[in-house]
Structure 1
């Protein structure tokens, strides 16, 4: 039955119910309310319960009509923040006091000791023909499943799944809070980057399961070594970070780091063996080494590098003298100034294609430096140098002007394309940026504005989210679209996305490039595509270097793609020639005929694990580091998945049974390859590797055929579709 509208209920003549003249059983409305799953209560003007439907009794417990007061029924309810309600805050009391509706009041109730239910409550006043208040109608909807799902998503977005430590996202948020507190209290904050010494050797020799066990033990020791108000986070791989607040002396930080390194250096019992590792740490202090999170992270990373260079197993504080290398780059900065004056910079354009519909929807403008001696230089060869220099503003202004000129030329020629331009964080943060941009746009027809897209790196936004979000909103009010670039490797959390309201997210190319061989990256890519939809963001992906990358993105529900598999960045004349010759690949359409189910996504993850294990096994064999566990077909991640009881549902597919039959052969070939490499039988080892890769090809083919069979049957989508926003 559909949800009950309290606004419609209050228009009903309730006089007979209010006076008790009509029995509930005789009321058609009461019979109808008995069928709804939404709780409905009717109260008189004295705050006494007149009637409630069965759904209300199930939530609040049965109550005696005409004697139960609203304070009694709601006595166990708490506010969303966990605080108790004052009587006048309760929904019935608020309507009786104000004669006004109550909308979307969130509260919790505990019907059992271990059972907490979340409710969304609304209330409307009931009036008679003379407009006198005679009662209140209350509706309550159980939203527990929605709240718990949201909490799970937020936990996944904020915590490392292996160690359950905060991840980069949550660490960045706590850094922001800690620095704000330190500014008020005039205290120090230490940001520490830690890297494990010797972890790779353990991981390679004992296997990644042992490596994961070791990382979990490291996380436990780190948490035991710090104070309750401090934070330890996993950055990725074997890198961790610590945030130490409320420091009064540097020696307090030194004592903590000494305790941490000593504890991490003690023996571990992993996979039945005694293991020893160490750790190195780099430290940056607020405020002396920086007053922004990204500055402290960079400086701590620099100090960590110096600690490892000095012999590992130690900690190193950031030294500004080490930062003097920036001064050595002044000569190069002067050459960039010359390049702007002498028009040595050019823009190349890389297409962005909607592969689901086979349409080129736009391009990204990418700067190139035609150096008179070194030739064409890619952005990474000079842009990082100017990123935090005022020179980035001059370069950014040139890029904007050139890109708008090209966009206008394309539209005049009938090429209706969007054009994306990367904006430096320093340029964006300049006072008056939006006024300057408005002036640039004013030189062109107004309809061109909606086709112009600003791309800002996720990490740059998070450096000062408040100021950045306001500037981006101003740009959107001008009609310009905004893309959050390099998404997935920075700090943005779900609340930040809601605050930024960007039009698009562009998944970082490193995640896309690694997703075929790294299940974690594949899961992140799928997760980004999934959770962006509720925020109204269109998702694009860059870095699709091969047709396999492209087809996998399509299968995951991300049709907006950029990468070498489509085209490399090109000068405008070559871009236009490519555009006129463009023909969509028929394979694209096949990959978008259905969307991935959870079974489908599970097969993608299994395939990524299989690829990664084969690559690692071949590498270990060639390095003469073969270990016996490689021969066990149940020890590898793919084998563990294959034999898990949860995969019984796949046994109805012939392909799955064939995969089970062939999988042990993979491990036999790895054993042969390991033995031949150890014995330096080069010719035989080459044959072993060829046979292994041939078996891998057949296994991957079977997995793809299973996914294709899943696609033939209509199933619920795992990832919701996105609607295109018109400019």
Structure 2
């Protein structure tokens, strides 16, 4: 064969061989593509098209085969093969696995997102060089394998392994025969057994011995029937310690349904059990004394009642309250008080039988259930022992304490009530024992209980009124009568009752004065007053306000602390503007304590007034010890001071004492201008009362202050327009109205004759005495003086005739004369005022 023929045949064979190879690649089921030495795609088989979604026509002849795998251009394996840069592969790809097959072959696995398919795949790429006979690189062939499912399976297995290793639950896996194949770290941490300790063993090594064999038989029956079991079980740690756990067991079956493994998962519930025990203790036992509480007491009372009826026995429900326990807390503190209560609880327990119950309801209240009594007399000896052990002296540290107890008793089934009612009856009887003198017991009395039940309902209604915002604060002005200046306000609580309307404090405060509710009400008033004072300050009114504080509230151990806290909530109001009023009678109960508390409050700027002064039997002897800045004269003395010389003498004495002890004095109950005149005459210039201003809502105060005008006669004292000799003239209006009031009552039959009718005698009347005195020499030349004298004499004459006709039974004539006399009322008052003004002008001139 010639040389030319051989060259042609070699050429044809090479071309045929290439075409054959290319067609072979196209037909491969493995995604494969071929690139030339310039990294241009020359083959892109059908498997590639299916895997990538990119048709061959789109990629052949281009270097953009990367678009099938990535959204942005990235180097490909062929580039690295062509350039002999295999060592740079980790820098070019973010791969899960990279390895070199040979010096020239590369393999890479990489997650990629195929933009054309919109899906993520994990692909394995193999790149191999294609070289000619001389070893020159003429192309690169790359194959693709979709490893997504394999990789996801691997990830799932890794996740399962991670869960196994890091689970907070202990896990053990056994074969069908119960031999342990594996355990996790939590198993070791809980049980103390290492993995090597338990491999090949059975879970029986954990048995505590607390469950019987029947328990495990039932467990295996459940597993065989349902393939799972769960429950609470006690196991033993390697250290020997027994612990509770919640255990879940699941059987794992193969395709043939046969069990291949058992998986047990458990949680140590030791802390949960301890918490449950604590909760049970809190639910049924008193935290301080460890005695049964109200809940457990109710259960035992039910049981005792049931046994008592079936055995024809009595059950004594004894409600015990310590006398004056509050004093122990106040003087020695709560710590000593708590230790004392624990000692009391121990003594009571030691005094009763095991079948009886001692329960604590709270504070110093205990309930004794004494069962199996044959008669009520049997209880006498038991209660005598109780009184004896309670009264025995206590010594806590260096403190000696002695108390007594009051006990209320009701007997079931003589008192055939439900458990709650029995406790209420015993509680009621305990209060009766206290009212009878304490240190005794009292059997339940149904009639007396009705009063207590009514009182309890009233207290509850008042408590709801406080919660629902039904209370209001009204303010009564206090003024200096001589100067006409408003010197302050007194805060007075009112109840805006939904059905009964506005109620005064006397209708509800006495019911709560000896209960803790008085403290809640008192603090509410303080908050309301301080908030209102702050509002007035913003309006330009700097007003001092006094607030009444009940004795129980003031004597509370936390009073000063709570007062400071309330003041701190209203920082814009100076404590110096707040005055606390305490009853003189309350202050005398414990002068030492009151003095200490008052001094502490004064230290933060709050001042004090002794309210209702003069009503206490020891007021004079204790006045010096109580550091109050102000004394308030009780309105009961002021009311009758114009007619009662004894009340007037008391007022004069109180004013004198205030002057000696350098205290301010203010009078309550000023109802008429004459009250004010007489008070100023004795040196009391400040007052409050209906004659000055009634209690009013806070919104009315600013208008009242703007409109207030004192009685025209009051400021004249400051100008020396009056003296003592003018007092009968100034009091004549009061005398006249008093006289007419009683005269009318007598004529209409509302009252019988009384000495006031002697005022009809011209010689008894104060105004008549003024006329008969030295007034004629000073004012006899005044026309008003002469006019009033004539009207005055005519009225006395008619009044005498009215009384005479009435006493003789001639009621018709008396009534006619009464009408005639009544016609003089207005002229008399007008002439009286004219004369008073005229006398004032004369004295000034």
Q: Per the shorter chain, which TM-score range?
A: 0.3 to 0.5
TM (normalized to structure 1)? 0.47
Bigger Rg, which one: 2
Q: TM-score, normalised by structure 2?
A: 0.41
Between the two structures, name the one with larger relative contact order (CA 8 Å, sep ≥ 6). Answer: 1
